[in-house]
Amino acid sequence: QVQLVESGGGLVQPGGSLRLSCAGSGIIFSISAMAWYRQAPGKERELVAAITRGGGTTYADSVKGRFTISRDNAKNTVYLQMNSLKAEDTAVYYCNAGRPFYNDYVKGNYWGQGTQVTVSS
């Protein structure tokens, strides 16, 4: 069983920054692309950013230019750096491990528990 644990969420003012972390089992970071999702109350869970096994990245239009996804396989961790935060970024953020051995990201079956991000003045 693969376990993913998110951390780093919290309360920030508009324009502020947070860095989320997702730590997982060692093997997952060598065989899977990774992604961050978010879910606001009453809304569907949406893909925010993804990173391939080779380090290529993609972003939702709503966060492009503000968020950066990265990975450190040696630390078994994927990050989401969030800058210039807006109230509409408020959501629970989840990480997901993509399908094993797929180079590009395809949603997989392993999720973290989520970490709350609240952007409010």
Instruction: List the pLDDT tens digit at each of the 121 positions of the chain.
Output: 678 999 999 999 999 999 999 998 867 888 999 999 999 999 999 999 999 999 999 999 999 999 999 999 889 999 999 999 999 999 999 999 999 999 999 999 999 999 999 999 9
In this prediction, residue 103 carries a pLDDT of 93
Residue 73, pLDDT score: 87
For residue 29, what pLDDT is reported?
Answer: 82
22 Cβ neighbours under 8 A, 6+ residues apart: 4, 5, 6, 7, 34, 36, 77, 78, 79, 80, 95, 112
pLDDT for the residue 7: 97
The confidence score (pLDDT) of residue 88 equals: 97
- Report the pLDDT value the prediction gives residue 91, as an integer from 0 to 100: 98
What tokens does 114 get? Answer: 């989520």
Bridging pattern class, strands 57-59 and 46-51 = antiparallel
Tell me, what's the pLDDT at 1?
Answer: 67
Amino acid at 5: V
